[in-house]
Amino acid sequence: MSKIIVVTSGKGGVGKTTTSASIASGLAKRGHKTCVIDFDVGLRNLDLIMGCERRVVYDFINLINGESKLNQTLIRDKRVKDLYILPASQTRDKDALTKEGVAKVLDELKSEGFEYVVCDSPAGIEAGALMALYFADEAIIVTNPEVSSVRDSDRILGILQSRSKRAEDGGEPVVEHLLITRYDPERVEKGQMLSIDDVSELLSVELIGVIPESKDVLEASNAGMPVILSEDSNAAQAYDDSIARLLGEQRPMRFTQVQKKGLLGRLFG
Amino acid sequence: MGLLDYFRSKPKTASIARQRLELLIAHQHEGGAAPDYLPQMQQDIIEVIRKYVAVSDDAVQINFERTDQCDMLELNVSLGEDDAA
């Protein structure tokens, strides 16, 4: 039984690809055969974040059009066993993604024994984003504690609830998880940033994790390595906690409180 | 600077953000249900009022609410202070 998870947000630049790469790597590290698909046709980036950009031969659209076979197209990750990457096409048009084509690829992944398929959605609410969420069983809504990101997340939640396959079929709704990224507890304490409670209450979605603002995220992307593999990093540990929760474990939130207070803070706080 | 800031109470932008989003999201949720003639109607009502009183563009607030029993249109007209005229 394979599960399709879409990583989406509406707004761009909030950490969808970073999250897709880390969630997929984390699931595979736990022994689940996982494929992560880049749905951003024309603006492929997942391959860079995963560090496999020089190994791309065929892409998602080739596979849909029958120009390549699944085992020729999937890129096997060199660091994590059981992890495969399906890159987006860099040259084709978004219209090349059809529901029938995507369904065919997802079915083939299912029959190849993939337990998880992580769909990295493009920004926006157009064809590519709609296609990425259409077949989802679960959705990870990536949100920054910032007004435009929260508003866009609310929009994309509405779309999940009305335009996904599950919504159209009238069955069980897509299971929604909120992932807050780039969280800075110090700024929250100073009243300069929306808090976890603010964001989760505004969106009324169950919280799956909070990734702290971290320099390691940029450094990991510089190196082409999912940040979850930089194990000493707070961001990596926060991603690992999120995956544990995704799999049903209970874990307390970490890195959501101010670590140490300065002298003034201790005197007056 | 840090010391001065500590004693000065500034408005907290996070709570402003939350309030703005609460309004926005509530509006977004009813947005699908609210009829799309509302902005035009709001404009027309302002024009009618202006035949009699000088009012500003935001003098008329329209809220649309949908309940199980009925749809409700809440109309607020503020005629403003003397200096608005």
A230-251 pLDDT tens trace: 999 999 999 999 999 999 999 9
Residues of A in contact with B22 (CB under 8 A): 202
Please count the other Cβ atoms lying within 10 Å of the Cβ belonging to residue A160: 23
Find out whether A6 and A140 touch, Cβ atoms under 8 Å. Answer: yes
Numbered residues of chain A with Cβ closer than 8 Å to any chain B Cβ: 146-147, 150-151, 154-155, 158, 188, 190-195, 198, 202-203, 264, 268
pLDDT 10s digits, A126-143: 999 999 999 999 999 999
Residues in chain A, overall count: 269
In order of A23, A32, A36, A116, A241, the CA distances from A247 in angstroms are 11, 11, 17, 11, 10
Dump the DSSP string for A65-116.
TTSS-HHHHPEEPSSSTTEEEEPPPSSS-GGG--HHHHHHHHHHHHHTT-SE
CA A101 to chain centre: 22
Q: What angle (nearest 5°) sits at the alpha carbon of residue A246, between those of residues A241 and A250?
A: 60
What is the predicted pLDDT for the residue at A56?
96
Query: Chain A contact for B69, CB < 8 A?
Result: no
Confidence check: pLDDT of B5 > 90 = no
Can you tell me the ipTM of this complex?
0.86
Residues of A in contact with B13 (CB under 8 A): 191-192
Q: Which of residues 31-60 of B touch A (CB under 8 A)?
A: 32
Strands (E), chain A: 3-8, 34-38, 75-76, 83-86, 116-120, 138-143, 175-183, 207-212
Query: Chain A contact for B72, CB < 8 A?
Result: no
How far is the C-alpha of A188 from the C-alpha of A191, rounded, in Å? 5
- Report which DSSP code applies to A1: -
Q: What is the percent of chain A where pLDDT is above 70?
A: 97
In this structure, which amino acid lies at residue B52? Y
Torsion angle in degrees (nearest 10) through CA of A38, A152, A200, A203? -120
Mean pLDDT of A203-210: 97
Residues of B in contact with A150 (CB under 8 A): 21, 25
Phi-psi region of A191 (alpha: psi -120 to 50; beta: other; left: phi over 0): left
Confidence check: pLDDT of A185 > 60 = yes
What is the predicted pLDDT for the residue at B11?
74
Is B12–A191 a contact, with Cβ atoms under 8 angstroms apart? yes
Is A158–B29 a contact, with Cβ atoms under 8 angstroms apart? yes
The residue among A105, A136, A104 whose CA lies nearest residue A119 is: A136
**Closest-CA distance of chain A to residue B36, Å:** 18
Beta-bridge mates of residue A210: A180
Is B20–A192 a contact, with Cβ atoms under 8 angstroms apart? no
Q: pTM for the full model?
A: 0.82
Mean pLDDT of A17-33: 98
How far is the C-alpha of A95 from the C-alpha of B12, rounded, in Å? 45
| Per-chain mean pLDDT for chain A | 95
What is the predicted pLDDT for the residue at B73?
83
**Closest-CA distance of chain B to residue A269, Å:** 11
How far is the C-alpha of B78 from the C-alpha of B60, rounded, in Å? 7
In order of A154, A199, B23, B77, the CA distances from B19 in angstroms are 15, 12, 6, 23
| Residue in B with minimal Cα distance to A189 | B14
